Chain A
């Protein structure tokens, strides 16, 4: 659990972070969103004390971070940055094993852990363990970056725009993997991004920052329905909000069991978001879809009225 109480940071005469309070529960993924220069990165880096806060307190599991030795604190917290920060003179395996080696794990255990993580992140050990960072694509390098952050199995993960430098397709793949990873590992994650779609897709809690202050925080759906002010509303997409909301709801939540009617010709997987279902309807000019499971077996149907959230079908 991470708690910030009235935390402030000034650089010279400029106040970068202005009295923010925040509580990230254990196992929760909290996304800090805002335009550049809003203080979200500074906030993140104060948690592992890469930047020291000037005022207020930051607690990890009830303990002020200042009570920890800063080096030991950082070894307990996973850290992922946009540029990956991989060491160019070390192989992938050596990069991933960094923190366990700093913690003086026995060699065999480090090796085992590195291989375990490479499997977890979908990196073939035979192919990648001996490669150098410059031989990797952007997506592969960032997977290594995430593996390195997870190496010593920290409870807390800090991610600073981890997928910001990737092309849209790779970014979406990694977001999907991140969601699956988080569902398995239940880390306490603070995730900084300026990409609202990314934040909506990943976050359990959304924190919108502006000029060093928290403007609004809550569940993504809450913010979508009740943005506190025009700034949050525009950040959340303005008129596109309907589609963003639809992206948060799965088809399975709105589908009905198979009825007596003939199956609709177009199909949609039950785990797909409503926005995708809407897109399929628009594309094929139909108002009814057959919902299928992983094996493409029909399990229900979705009508446009149900998709829109109408009570009767």
Chain B
């Protein structure tokens, strides 16, 4: 018994390293490109041979990346808290009456185009980061609410019945049974929400929230395709990086 454990332990980090290989690969590619974009001038010259400046220089790519991550992170954190919280609240006995309302509200949030939200949010909140966070929050809420509802709804009622019958309190059932069992479905919702928002956040550049959308907007305005490609490349890599991380998280080691 002891021998087996002794053999298994050194094997563990290797196995988990292999599991995280894809996200790590995307991450290193993202960081490498962010750091080395200026060295690729010759490459972007091929796209824009006639323009004087082919590398976006108004802000460092690292700064833009950090701001992008921050905006998406803040919006997603809020969306997860609100989305999971609301979905859990309306699946309790006390909150059942609000279930249709909440799922409808979340649907409306997604039918509203983020550009329209931005246009409405700017007069109310001013230029900058706040309106884009609000837009992303509203846009990202639906997949999280919908999946949390589906995840909790999909739990075998007999399991919940047994949990009650064993003498678990409502809080214990939620934390130890419902949320862990619904976790894969909830995680899938968060994954969709965050991935979409990484792309949508680029719109923030139009309202003065500087992020990886800056080179894209600037490229469109100035007719500089190289700028657009630089912004799009980094956003794409960031999305792949986050998406593959979620992919690994959803695959349980025991499954």
Contact = CB atoms under 8 A, between A and B. Distances in A.
Asked if A and B are interacting partners, one says yes
Interface string B165-180: 1111100100001001
Contact of A50 (B161, B168, B172): B161
B158 interface: yes
10 contacts: A71-B168, A72-B167, A74-B166, A76-B167, A79-B165, A84-B158, A85-B159, A87-B177, A88-B159, A88-B181
Interface band, chain A: 20 to 34
Nearest to B169: A71
A88 to B, nearest CB: 7
Contacts of A87: 159, 162-163, 177, 181
A46 interface: no
A79 B158 CA distance: 12
Contacts of B254: 132
The B contact surface, by secondary structure, is: helix
- Closest 9 interchain pairs by CB? A85-B162, A75-B167, A74-B167, A79-B165, A83-B158, A85-B158, A71-B167, A89-B180, A85-B159
Interface string A134-155: 0000000000000010000000
Interface string A60-84: 0000000000011111100101011
Interface of B: 156, 158-159, 161-169, 172, 177, 180-181, 254
| Residue of A74, A87, A99 with most chain B CB atoms under a 10 A cut-off | A87
A73 B166 CA distance: 9
B183 to A, nearest CB: 9
A81 B165 contact: yes
A86 B169 contact: no
Contacts of A89: 180-181
Given A83-B158, A102-B172, A48 B181 contact: no
B181 A148 contact: no
Contacts of A148: 166
B162 A81 contact: yes
A302 interface: no
B177 A74 contact: no
A98 interface: yes
A89 B172 CA distance: 15
Contact of B165 (A85, A86, A102, A132): A85
A35 to B, nearest CB: 22
Contacts of A99: 166-167
A75 B166 contact: yes
A86 B166 contact: no
Contacts of A74: 164-167
A98 B166 contact: yes
Nearest to B168: A102
B162 A79 contact: yes
A75 B162 CA distance: 12
Given A87-B159, A102-B172, A50 B165 contact: yes
A166 to B, nearest CB: 16
Contact of A86 (B162, B164, B168): B162
Contacts of B177: 87
A50 B157 CA distance: 13
Given A50-B161, A85-B158, A102-B172, A79 B166 contact: yes
Contact of A73 (B156, B167, B180, B181): B167
A248 B114 CA distance: 75
